[in-house]
Amino acid sequence: MERGYRPAIHPHQRHPRGWLDWTGHPRHSAGRGLSTLGWMMEMRFLCDEMLHGLGRWLRAAGYDSRIAGMGTADADLLRQALSEGRLLLSRDRKLLEYRGAGRAVLWLEANDLEGCAMELCHRVELNWLYRPFSRCLQCNTPLRSTSAAVWPDLPDTVRASGMVLWCCPVCRKVYWEGSHVTRMRARLQEWQRRCRGEGPVPGPAG
C-alpha cells in the first residue's frame, strides 16, 4: 500500500474534535452534514463506479463531477479527490480507513439513486437546481451555445423549432430542450423541493 494512503482511522479512534463514529466523522457533528465543506465556493465531486448514475445527475444539476473508471484503485480515487479538491462520493466504507479520507470522502448509506440524491443534499449544501444542463452529461465539460447551421445532422423538427442549442466543445454532443431534458428537469425540481422539505407538486384533480 502506498505511503500516505495506508489505513489510519479506527472506527473509535480519538479525534481532536471528539470521538469518531463509524463514518469517520466526529460524533458531535453527526446528522448535521460535513461542516468542513462550508468554505467551498463551488463543490466539485468525484463519484466512484458504484455511483455512476448519481454522477451524471450531478452534472445535469450543473456541478463539476468526475466519474471514476471501472476498477480504479481506492488509493488512486482518494489521491485524485485530494489533489483536485473534490468530494469523493462512495458506498465503499473501506475508503474511510485511508489517511486523508476525513477531508475528502463522503460515504453514502442509501442503496438507490433517489436515496443517495436525498442523503447527499441533506449532508452538504447541495442545490439540485444549481446550474441545470450547463455541463455535458457525457464528459462533464461546460456547454457552449451554438447555432443549428453548424450541425447539418440535426433532426429537421429541432432545426425548424428555433430552439436554443448547446454543444460540448470536447465530445461534440449537441443538446436541446427536448422531452428527455424536460423529464430530467422535472426530476431535479422534485428533488430540490424534497430537499427543502416541501411536498410534491399536486397532480390534476381526479
- Topology, domain 14-26+42-123: Rossmann fold (3.40.50)
What's the grid cell of residue 152?
A: 447539418
Instruction: Find cell 438507490 and name the residue.
Output: 112
> How many CA atoms, within 13 angstroms, populate the side-chain half-sphere of residue 65?
26
Strands 14-15 and 18-19: antiparallel
pLDDT digits (tens, 9 = 90+) for 89-115: 999 999 999 988 988 999 999 999 999
- pLDDT for the residue 125: 85
Domain residue spans in the chain? 14-26+42-123, 144-195
Closest listed residue to residue 176, CA positions, set 150, 142, 146, 131? 146
One pLDDT digit (tens) per residue for the chain, 206 residues = 333 333 332 333 333 332 223 233 333 333 333 434 443 458 999 999 999 999 999 999 999 999 999 999 999 999 999 999 999 999 999 999 998 898 899 999 999 999 999 999 999 989 999 999 999 999 999 999 999 999 999 999 999 998 999 999 999 999 999 999 999 999 999 999 999 987 655 444 44
**Residue among 55, 113, 61, 60 at smallest CA distance from 81:** 55
- pLDDT for residue 41: 53
Residues 6+ apart with CB under 8 A from 43: 37, 63, 87, 124, 125, 126
86, three cell numbers: 473534490
**What pLDDT is stored for residue 12 in this prediction?**
31
Is the separation of the CB atoms in 169 and 144 below 8 Å?
Answer: yes
Please report the DSSP string for 53-88 in residue order. Answer: HHHHHHHHHT-EEEEPPTT--HHHHHHHHHHHT-EE
pLDDT at 123: 92
